[in-house]
Amino acid sequence: MATFDLNDDSVVVVIGSGAGGGTVGAELAIKGVKTVILEAGKRHETEDFINDEWGSFGQLAWTDKRTTSGDWRVARDFSGLPAWIVKSVGGSTTHWAGASLRFQEHEWKAQTNYGDVEGASLLDWPIDAEEMAPWYAKAEDRMGVTRTNGIPGLPGNNNFKVMKAGADKLGYKECHTGRMAINSEPRDDRSACLQIGFCFQGCKSAAKWSTLVAEIPKGEETGNLEVRPESHVLKIEHDDSGKVTGVVYADKDGNQQLQKARVVCVAGNSIESPRLLLNSASSMFPDGLANSSGQVGRNYMRHMTGSVYAIFDKPVHMYRGTTMAGIIQDESRHDPSRGFVGGYELETLSLGLPFMAAFLNPGAWGREFTSAMDAFDRMAGMWIVGEDMPQADNRVTLHGSEKDQYGLPVPNVHFDDHPNDIAMRNHAYKQGRALYDAVGAVETYPTPPYPSTHNLGTNRMSAKATDGVVNKWGQTHDVKNLFISDGSQFTTGAAENPTLTIVSLALRQADHIASQMSKGDL
């Protein structure tokens, strides 16, 4: 593993080591570019992960102070925890479930295909399915996605079997055990899934792809990549010409360091990335770095989500085995006759008893709640994930008075549901309940969204510099050597879980940066 000097201004500095940052950093190193990844969290390896929901949350989750506002229920139930994401090497790919789906063709052009939706700030991506196809293919191979590259699907667990039985009864045609970045057989020096059932807690068999186990080690092997954990970036610096020159970070002892850089890639996930740009305001960039459009922090998306849990009169033990290896795709089409634009996926989901208590119906108490908990072993569950409408005022801003441990303004996350989100959620609840009723459910529960696991859109990609923050390469419109490499680049969210797209964009961006560097353009 390489180490680079703080004054080495030939390195690319990547902020964050998750899906976006870990991939772009490793891929640059593989292409021969000297790269430093600064990661706020510690480095926990596979053997350090804990099969315990709250214990793992304490180990991995990002719990720095954040505030919330808006009409979403998360603001009421989890006012200090708008998002459930990670601070650790590997970022949220340590927590993620592995569902890896490509966008559908029409979703790249939401404005064109959905038309004007009142209150929504829809925009077409400046790229399309054809442009992305080879990058998706490369990402699927790298991540070992099942049902691609000849990799068999995962076996269905009990929770999936209940879903499949219901899907058959409702006449759904596209139900299978998913396209999962989880090894169904040994691959890439990692073992096959042991059906441990703690995918959200960091996979202890390393069967699940993450930047921690798959990308970063490959980057480090080249001798071109240094990953520096416990390095929390506070500010990006620039020179008089408006190019970025380095970043200031707090090291593990809280001392501030300045790492010089030739290029900076921001990949702190969609709350920290815009916050960092806003906190990097200067006399030259008074509204925040790369924010001439005023779009930094805006159009925050979190996917339309919800869950349906159902109890039966016989045991299910849904928590055994892969958490999310089950999907129904029939509702993911764009079909406005259902009363909303865009579509949604239904995916298996289970929580253990501790998280079920916290998330089934936050704040609820009494016998209705406890009778559901009493039936925990007879419960099946699914997660709803669909396209939500970007809205200009759903946004990450700097709090006026609250400060974090480094004295910087904390982010406030404001989110109001769009009527389209609500209509889609109600449709999905109805379908989910009908599915379980068809298998003989005794009771079904429409469970509200959890703190956001998919955070998107706050530095969006746009053809025109006035509409968004980055161009089609993720390069900021305003600052040539500043890139955004995470999910905050998303112009719109599509119905699919975002990580495969984040990784594909990062591979494509690394290719672009490396070639621009070799041409001397960066």
Ligand X SMILES: Cc1cc2nc3c(=O)[nH]c(=O)nc-3n(C[C@H](O)[C@H](O)[C@H](O)COP(=O)(O)OP(=O)(O)OC[C@H]3O[C@@H](n4cnc5c(N)ncnc54)[C@H](O)[C@@H]3O)c2cc1C
Residue 354 lies near other proteins (rule: CB under 8 A) = yes
322 vs 459, which CB is nearer to other proteins?
A: 322
Take residue 521 and report the two structure tokens written for it: 């353009």
Pairwise CA distance, residues 266 & 349, whole Å = 31
Pairwise CA distance, residues 43 & 209, whole Å = 16
- DSSP-assigned beta bridge partners for residue 235: 248
109 binds, among ligand SF4, other proteins, ligand X, none (CB under 5 to 8 A by kind): none
Q: How far is the CB of 75 from other proteins (least distance, A)?
A: 16
Pairwise CA distance, residues 388 & 353, whole Å = 29
208 binds, among ligand X, other proteins, ligand SF4, none (CB under 5 to 8 A by kind): ligand SF4
Give rounded-to-5 percent helix, strand, coil for the chain.
30, 20, 50
Using a 10 angstrom Cβ sphere, with 0-12 exposed, 13-18 middle and 19 or more buried, the burial of residue 318 is buried
* Binding window for other proteins (CB under 8 A); candidates: 4-12, 375-383, 399-407, 454-462: 375-383
Q: How far is the CB of 488 from ligand X (least distance, A)?
A: 7
Take residue 345 and report the two structure tokens written for it: 């996926």
What is the per-residue binding string for other proteins in 405-444, x denoting contact by CB under 8 A? ----------------------------------x--xx-
Residue 138 lies near other proteins (rule: CB under 8 A) = no
Pairwise CA distance, residues 28 & 2, whole Å = 14
3-state per-residue secondary structure call for 285-312? CCCCCCCCCCCCCCCCECCEEEEEEEEC
Query: Do residues 427 and 420 make contact, with C-beta atoms less than 8 angstroms apart?
Result: no
Q: How far is the CB of 62 from ligand X (least distance, A)?
A: 6
Residue 319 lies near other proteins (rule: CB under 8 A) = yes
Residue 187 lies near other proteins (rule: CB under 8 A) = no
For the chain, first and last CA: distance in Å?
25
Q: How far is the CB of 57 from ligand X (least distance, A)?
A: 10
Options 8, 52, 64, 330; binder of other proteins; rule CB under 8 A: 52
Q: How far is the CB of 415 from ligand X (least distance, A)?
A: 17
Residue 315 lies near other proteins (rule: CB under 8 A) = yes
Q: How many residues are present in the chain?
A: 522
Pairwise CA distance, residues 483 & 265, whole Å = 5
DSSP code of residue 333? S
487 binds, among other proteins, ligand SF4, ligand X, none (CB under 5 to 8 A by kind): ligand X
Residue 254 lies near other proteins (rule: CB under 8 A) = no
* Binding window for other proteins (CB under 8 A); candidates: 12-20, 154-162, 293-301, 481-489: 154-162
Pairwise CA distance, residues 212 & 201, whole Å = 13
Binding interface with ligand SF4 (CB under 6 A): 182, 193-199, 203, 205, 207-208, 321-322
Take residue 18 and report the two structure tokens written for it: 């998750």
182 binds, among other proteins, ligand SF4, ligand X, none (CB under 5 to 8 A by kind): ligand SF4
| Residue ranges in contact with other proteins by CB under 8 A | 51-54, 155-158, 161-162, 165, 193-198, 204-205, 311, 313-317, 319-322, 352-354, 356-358, 363, 365-371, 373-378, 439, 442-443
